[in-house]
Amino acid sequence: MTESAGREGAPVRLQKILAQAGVASRRASEDLIARGRVEVDGKIVREMGIKVDPATAVIRVDGTRIVLDDTLVYLALNKPRGYHTTMSDERGRPCVGDLVADRIDAGQRLFHVGRLDADTEGLLLVTNDGELAHRLMHPSYEVSKTYMATVTGVVGKGVGKQLRDGIELEDGPAKVDQFSLLDVHDGRSLVKVVLHEGRKHIVRRILAEVGHPVEGLVRTRFGAVALGDQRAGSFRKLNRKEVSDLYEAVGL
């Protein structure tokens, strides 16, 4: 994401690391350090000229972690409906790999974080940061995902409480963190669902279980990353704050 600040194992002056990471010029970085806005491994550093190992140090500016490895890639992709969540498809079906083909062709070994089924649209994170991806998908870290679902029927007042309290599916109990009814039109309801688990088709299954089959489903947020008005099929680089927030959410 940023220019590498030095070879592995070689201590580098902190202001130089910040400058090479694109945080600020070297002189402005010295000012950040002097004002106590820079942390190294959880401790505020004010000493000028201090050297740290950029390969191992955890550096934050104003609480935002600085990612120093320029080989790491973090993308937010708006997956269109009909695309399969694979980097290649032996049957020739449209897939996520097609949408980031230029980067793969350039030698980047990217993979998707979790899955969206072919009929689900919206935010999919794509990266080559294996440790971050592993933790984001692990249920113990409880990273939330937000969905907008168009469902059949008019959703009654008790459905939200039912889903927050939990329902029983064939593979065990499931519940949502948040649920809200946003709109009703022509016998359909638009609902917002926030949950942190990632079982297959979990949103479709829980809504069908309470009598409201899903007709359309879009993931709009993954942790700190929001889809916004991003065009279907497009991707963008995550900004420094988004990457830092994802790291923080999973204890990195």
Catalytic positions, written as ranges: 117
129: number of Cβ within 10 Å: 23
Q: Radius of gyration over alpha carbons of the chain, in Å?
A: 21
Q: What are phi and psi of 151, to 5 degrees?
A: -125, 160
Is residue 177 a contact partner of residue 195, using CB atoms and an 8 Å limit? yes
Q: What angle do CA 94, 102, 236 make, to 5 degrees?
A: 85
Q: What are phi and psi of 164, to 5 degrees?
A: -70, -35
What is the Cα–Cα distance from 252 to 246, expressed in whole angstroms? 9
